[in-house]
């Protein structure tokens, strides 16, 4: 009985080896193709989108967070020059003006609007990695941008207590 089980397990393990070898990437061709073109592209010819949503550069498809990243070229092409126009390119984001220079951001129905202008926001707005405690005068920030990232859902682990609804990285 024991000999029969050992033979069965050995045969099963050996049958899985070709599947593992088939799933490996061809490293030589990918590196040669990338160095020849000078751009970050995969073999299919798609451009790699790099985000810094988790405070380090990583591929958008490998990021473990729900993020919408829009490049500066795409913002210019679509005519996004104000915070209110971000709703054109970022789903689940609502932007509305409030009293004075304040802007109300809402991500997935969580809003940064409080009872007064001095309350803590629920959406963190970061400009070049610096947290804006009150998103005042955000309208003038949408020129000559590298990218805008909208992170949906709670981001308190990386962006602090004022990121309950999400974060916007400009």
**Mean pLDDT of all residues in 5-17:** 81
Which tens digits make up the pLDDT trace of 149-169? 888 887 777 777 778 888 888
Nearest residue to 91 via CA among 74, 108, 113: 108
Q: Cα–Cα distance between 98 and 48 in angstroms, integer?
A: 37
Q: Cα–Cα distance between 24 and 30 in angstroms, integer?
A: 12
Dihedral angle of Cα 167, 146, 54, 134, to the nearest 10 degrees: -30
Q: Is the model's pTM score more than 0.85?
A: no
Which tens digits make up the pLDDT trace of 89-137? 888 888 887 766 777 888 888 886 665 666 777 888 888 888 887 766 6
Q: Cα–Cα distance between 170 and 80 in angstroms, integer?
A: 13
111 beta partners: 106
Which tens digits make up the pLDDT trace of 29-66? 444 434 333 345 555 556 666 766 666 677 766 666 77
Domain with CATH 2.170.130.10 in the chain: 55-169
For the domain bounded by 55-169, which CATH number is listed? 2.170.130.10
């Amino acid at each position: 009985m024991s000999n029969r089980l050992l033979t069965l397990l050995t045969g099963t393990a050996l049958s899985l080896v070709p599947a593992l070898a088939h799933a490996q990437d061809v490293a030589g061709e990918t590196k040669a193709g990338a160095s020849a073109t000078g751009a970050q592209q995969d073999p299919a010819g798609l451009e790699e989108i790099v985000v810094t949503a988790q405070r380090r550069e990583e591929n958008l498809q490998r990021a473990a967070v729900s993020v919408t990243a829009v490049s500066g070229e795409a913002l210019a092409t679509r005519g996004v020059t104000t915070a209110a126009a971000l709703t054109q390119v970022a789903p689940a984001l609502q932007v509305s003006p409030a009293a004075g220079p304040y802007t109300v951001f809402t991500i997935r129905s969580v809003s940064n609007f409080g009872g007064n202008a001095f309350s803590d926001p629920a959406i963190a707005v970061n400009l070049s990695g610096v947290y804006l405690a009150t998103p005042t005068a955000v309208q003038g920030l949408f020129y000559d941008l590298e990218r805008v990232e909208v992170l949906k859902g709670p981001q308190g682990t990386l962006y602090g207590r004022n990121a309950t609804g999400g974060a916007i990285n400009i």
